Amino acid sequence: MDLSSENLIPQVQHSDVGHGRGVYVSTYGCQMNVNDSERMYSLLEMANFTPVASPEQASLIIINSCSVREKPVHKVFSEVGKYRKLKQKNPELKIGVGGCVGQQEKENLMKDQPMIDFVFGTDAIDQLPTMVAQAFAGEHRLVKAQFQHRAPYHVETLVRNPGVSTFVNITKGCDNFCTFCVVPYTRGREKSRPLKHVLQDINELIGRGVKEVTLLGQNVNSYTSDCGADFADLMEKVAQETKIERIRFTTSHPKDFNQKLVDVMYANQPKICEYIHLPFQSGNSRVLETMNRGYSREEYLQKIEMIKKAIPNVVLSTDIIVGFPGETEEEFKDTLSLVQEVGFETIFAFKYSPRPFTKAARFEGQIDEVTKSDRLTRLFEAHDLMARELVKRYEGQTLEILIEAFDEKRGNLSGRSSQNKLVYMPGDASLIGKTMPVKITKAFPAVLRGEILPVQ
Ligand code: SAH
Ligand code: SF4
Ligand code: F3S
């Protein structure tokens, strides 16, 4: 398939807007934003900007912001403030704000901070070279933050150095409206890429040396292609019709995790990795209901049982919110007990933070900061004790590790197991991209150490 005929890459972009000037993108938030920043760099490189490693070297600075928790607007302003001196030294310097705060605040950002030259939303990334050209032509206070609700979701992966493992967007936006979450307002309605585009994209990445892809979306397992394929169908096709060595995905939603997907994961091992990030948010069914998560504690546990039955070696991680409005001490204890019951090796836990537009921000029973902090500390302490014990089982095991990088400072290789365990081991850079048997010598909760065994 000829991608250009499907208009996957915006038609800018080979104009000389940049004249070789430096561009620096400062990235906050989730993997989606990391991918978006790569897209921004790639598009701006096509328009003859040069990516640089620090803001001091740049004539164009872009802040790719996140607003999922705590004081995001404040963070944007404090970063822009740091560039005051640079702007005085170099009056040509342009500053743009994109990402979820750009989408959420639009022109409000300019009202309060005149140093910002332009603001663009999450659906306006492909218009960036045009906006930047306008900014350098002297236009000030430009804003492009309309959602492109009708436009199909066509985004060939644009990444400068994909390395061994890379992320591939398959869905964008979210229609779930969990009552705490700003994402449906900052990323818009959920859309899926056509299945054939995803396959083509992965094949091109394989041609650039990629061995592992992580399929990415706010809610990957509600993926629906225009041809009717669902997420399980997509996973099966990627496993069977491409030569990719490993497939991961994030983030999946418990309510959309079904037996069909588990069956596809089982049938396509070891290509599909034995690792699932499955956020539960709260271990209490009443709290889950007020969060509008669409499952109860019991239903979540049933899904875990279904997964563990088919894939006994599966490793699970999760996201948790503590101090959601109205959460009692007893309800919080249900969260503690769910962590133990499932045996998560990794947790990402956060204090509830009221977000603009969301229902929960207006709920009664907002919890004070001291209680939230206390619950978060207790959760991390309990999890840490458990994780230390859980990972001991890796010591002495031999795991298949896809080698991803060589750290010159430490003289170490790093890579990951199917279960997403990060492993450090001695070795040389020629092994990058190879999958090697590694005997684990020491296990810590966040990393394992090991030694590469000779291939049989
Ligand atoms: N789509 C994913 C989550 C995306 S946001 C899912 O449904 O699981 C990433 C995580 O940030 C969430 O899982 C949640 O734990 C946390 N989060 C989102 N909004 C939050 C808020 N208002 N306060 C605290 N944590 C929040
Ligand atoms: Fe936010 Fe819920 Fe959508 Fe995840 S599923 S992005 S938590 S609204
Ligand atoms: Fe943040 Fe937007 Fe991602 S709010 S977590 S950057 S989707």
* CATH classification at residue 433: 2.40.50.140
Q: Indicate the length of the chain as a whole number.
A: 456
Cα-Cα-Cα-Cα dihedral sign, residues 73, 74, 76, 77 = positive
User: 411 versus 427: which is more confidently predicted?
Assistant: 427
Q: Which residue CA neighbors atom 2 of ligand 2 most closely?
A: 178
Beta-carbon contacts of residue 180 (< 8 Å; ≥ 6 apart): 291, 321, 324, 352, 355, 358, 360
Span 415-434, pLDDT tens digits: 999 999 999 999 999 999 99
Q: For position 171, what pLDDT does the model report?
A: 96
* CATH classification at residue 380: 3.80.30.20
Mutate to test the pocket of ligand 2, among 33, 176, 255 (most ligand atoms within 8 A of CB): 176
Q: Is residue 403 part of a domain?
A: yes
Same domain, 290 and 266: yes
Q: Is residue 320 part of a domain?
A: yes
Q: For position 1, what pLDDT does the model report?
A: 37
Q: How far is the CA of 170 from the centre of ligand 3 (A)?
A: 16
- Percentage with pLDDT > 90 across the chain: 88
Atom number in ligand 1 closest to CA 219: 1
Q: How far is the CA of 319 from the centre of ligand 1 (A)?
A: 7
The CA dihedral of 354, 334, 383, 350, to the nearest 10 degrees, is 0
* CATH classification at residue 78: 3.40.50.2300
What is the pLDDT confidence band of residue 112, given thresholds at 50, 70 and 90?
confident
Is residue 260 pLDDT above 70, yes or no? yes
Any atom of ligand 1 within 6 Å of the Cβ of 251: yes
Same domain, 340 and 267: yes
Span 19-30, pLDDT tens digits: 999 999 999 999
Span 114-135, pLDDT tens digits: 999 999 999 999 999 999 999 9
Q: For position 5, what pLDDT does the model report?
A: 40
Same domain, 130 and 253: no
Same domain, 112 and 247: no
Is 417 within 8 Å of 440 (Cβ atoms)?
no
Same domain, 270 and 382: yes
For residue 29, the SS3 value is coil
Any atom of ligand 1 within 6 Å of the Cβ of 353: yes
Helices of type H across 269-312: 285-291, 297-310
Q: How far is the CA of 182 from the centre of ligand 1 (A)?
A: 9
Q: Is residue 85 part of a domain?
A: yes
Is residue 389 pLDDT above 80, yes or no? yes
Residue 159 one-letter amino acid: V
Is 413 within 8 Å of 426 (Cβ atoms)?
yes
- Could you tell me whether strands 448-452 and 50-51 are parallel, antiparallel, or unpaired per DSSP bridges? unpaired
Span 294-313, pLDDT tens digits: 999 999 999 999 999 999 99
Is residue 269 pLDDT above 90, yes or no? yes
Mutate to test the pocket of ligand 3, among 25, 32, 40 (most ligand atoms within 8 A of CB): 32
Residue 409 one-letter amino acid: K
What is the pLDDT confidence band of residue 410, given thresholds at 50, 70 and 90?
confident
Same domain, 87 and 122: yes
Q: For position 10, what pLDDT does the model report?
A: 53
Same domain, 128 and 196: no
Is residue 107 pLDDT above 70, yes or no? yes
Mutate to test the pocket of ligand 3, among 104, 183, 191 (most ligand atoms within 8 A of CB): 183
Span 21-68, pLDDT tens digits: 999 999 999 999 999 999 999 999 999 999 999 999 999 999 999 999
Same domain, 388 and 416: no
Same domain, 174 and 84: no
Q: Is residue 4 part of a domain?
A: no
Euclidean distance between CA atoms 348 and 118, whole angstroms:
33
Q: For position 154, what pLDDT does the model report?
A: 84
What is the pLDDT confidence band of residue 151, given thresholds at 50, 70 and 90?
confident
Is residue 78 pLDDT above 80, yes or no? yes
Is residue 407 pLDDT above 70, yes or no? yes
Q: Which two tokens stand for residue 291?
A: 């969060």
Q: How far is the CA of 338 from the centre of ligand 1 (A)?
A: 18
Q: Select from 370, 392, 414 the last residue of a domain.
A: 392
Residue 300 one-letter amino acid: Y
Q: Which two tokens stand for residue 236?
A: 């099966």
- Beta strand spans in 34-145 (E): 50-51, 60-65, 94-98, 118-120, 142-144
Q: Is residue 150 part of a domain?
A: no
Cis, bond preceding 254 (omega within 30 deg of 0): no
Same domain, 111 and 224: no
Q: Is residue 336 part of a domain?
A: yes
Report CA-CA distances (Å) from 415 to 24, 233, 244. Answer: 28, 28, 17
Number of structural domains, the chain?
3
Q: Which residues on adjacent β-strands are paired with residue 26?
A: 63
Residue 139 one-letter amino acid: E
Q: Is residue 355 part of a domain?
A: yes
Q: Select from 346, 375, 392 the last residue of a domain.
A: 392
Classify each residue of 170-185 as buried b or exposed e, where b means 16 or more C-beta atoms within 10 Å of its C-beta.
bbbbbebebbbbbbbb
Same domain, 261 and 305: yes
Q: Which two tokens stand for residue 152?
A: 């199909």
User: 284 versus 9: which is more confidently predicted?
Assistant: 284
Reading phi first (left if > 0) and then psi (alpha if -120 to 50, else beta), residue 411 is in left
Average pLDDT of the chain, as a whole number: 94
Cα-Cα-Cα-Cα dihedral sign, residues 51, 53, 58, 64 = positive
Span 323-379, pLDDT tens digits: 999 999 999 999 999 999 999 999 999 999 999 999 999 999 999 999 999 999 999
Q: How far is the CA of 407 from the centre of ligand 1 (A)?
A: 32
Is 214 within 8 Å of 251 (Cβ atoms)?
no
Q: For position 71, what pLDDT does the model report?
A: 87
Span 322-332, pLDDT tens digits: 999 999 999 99
Span 213-224, pLDDT tens digits: 999 999 999 999
Same domain, 62 and 33: yes
Residue 182, domain extent = 165-392
Q: What is the DSSP string of 184-221?
A: HHHH-S-EE--HHHHHHHHHHHHHTT--EEEEE-TTGG
Residue 345 one-letter amino acid: E
Q: Is residue 266 part of a domain?
A: yes
Q: How far is the CA of 76 from the centre of ligand 2 (A)?
A: 23
Any atom of ligand 1 within 6 Å of the Cβ of 218: yes
Q: For position 14, what pLDDT does the model report?
A: 57
Q: For position 150, what pLDDT does the model report?
A: 81
